[in-house]
């Protein structure tokens, strides 16, 4: 009898603007498990797209690892959780540094570690949502930029380490995207959403990565606004 079960995707940062659109798109073909903190938004994802919800902070390392290890299968992991308020070297405390790295890097490393046995079995795909900041930083964003450099380094090394298992490891690096995180970095009168990439566009790029032919992997994808923005 033919197996009709959907492939499984796990998405962190699912209650953000980008995450919501990624879940919307992947739910067309996958059973999606979503990780986020906002109970109301998680409920909407369950109601709208049939998502399985895990209300967790990405820094709940042990609990998330236990939940991932209990899964029967996994085909796609999208590491999308992030924080990005503007801290520079001269105004960031040690606590700020620790928080940024715990969310933007360590959390992804820990959940990925727990997911690797299942992804090796399925020869699945790991997608890290990086940032254009790793190649084109904005003033006053040293902490965020440092974590996105680190995340790219994690992905690049993991790709080498997992090549023997045929696990695809991809960094999708969006430029300025119309999300709450970006809007909060502007004064309202200075923000013009039509200048920025739409979250649904990033979801389409993630879909392109997931649907890539089995004989290839797309390693680094930079997604830039049609007209470059200088800040």
pTM: 0.91
What size, in residues, is the chain? 231
Closest CA to 169 of 216, 224, 213: 216
pLDDT in tens, 58-80: 999 999 999 999 999 999 999 99
Among residues 87, 100, 144, 196, the one annotated as catalytic is 144
DSSP state for residue 226 in the 8-state scheme: S
pLDDT in tens, 152-162: 999 999 999 99
| Dist. CA 47–CA 27, nearest whole Å | 12
**20 noted as active-site residue:** no
pLDDT in tens, 88-125: 899 999 999 999 999 999 999 999 999 999 999 999 99
Q: Is residue 144 exposed (0-12), middle (13-18) or buried (19+ Cβ within 10 Å)?
A: buried
pLDDT in tens, 13-52: 999 888 999 999 999 999 999 999 999 999 999 999 999 9
Closest CA to 158 of 211, 220, 222, 224: 220
pLDDT at 10 > cutoff 60: yes
**Among 106-110, 193-197, 203-207, where is mean pLDDT lowest?**
193-197
| Dist. CA 213–CA 8, nearest whole Å | 18
Beta-bridge partner residues of 173? 222
Q: Please give the pLDDT value at position 2.
A: 38
């Amino acid at each position: 009898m033919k197996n009709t079960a959907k492939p499984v995707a796990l998405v962190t940062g699912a209650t953000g603007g980008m995450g919501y659109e990624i879940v919307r798109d992947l739910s067309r073909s996958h059973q999606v498990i979503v990780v986020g903190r906002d109970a109301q938004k998680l409920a909407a994802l369950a109601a709208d797209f049939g998502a399985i919800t895990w209300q967790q902070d990405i820094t709940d390392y042990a609990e998330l690892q236990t939940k991932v290890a209990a899964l029967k299968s996994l085909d796609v992991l999208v590491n999308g959780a992030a924080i990005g308020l503007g801290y520079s070297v001269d105004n960031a405390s040690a606590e700020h540094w620790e928080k940024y790295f715990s969310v933007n890097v360590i959390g992804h490393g820990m959940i990925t570690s727990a997911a690797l046995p299942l992804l090796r079995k399925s020869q699945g795909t790991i997608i890290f949502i990086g940032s254009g900041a790793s190649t084109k930083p904005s003033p006053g964003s040293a902490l965020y930029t440092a974590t996105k450099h680190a995340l790219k380094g994690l992905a690049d090394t993991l790709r080498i380490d997992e090549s023997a298992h045929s696990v695809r490891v991809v960094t999708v690096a969006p430029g300025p995207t119309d999300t709450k995180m970006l809007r909060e970095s502007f004064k309202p009168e200075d923000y013009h959403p039509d200048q920025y990439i739409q979250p649904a566009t990033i979801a389409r790029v993630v879909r392109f990565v997931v649907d890539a032919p089995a004989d290839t992997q797309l390693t680094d994808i930079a997604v830039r606004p049609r007209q470059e923005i200088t800040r």
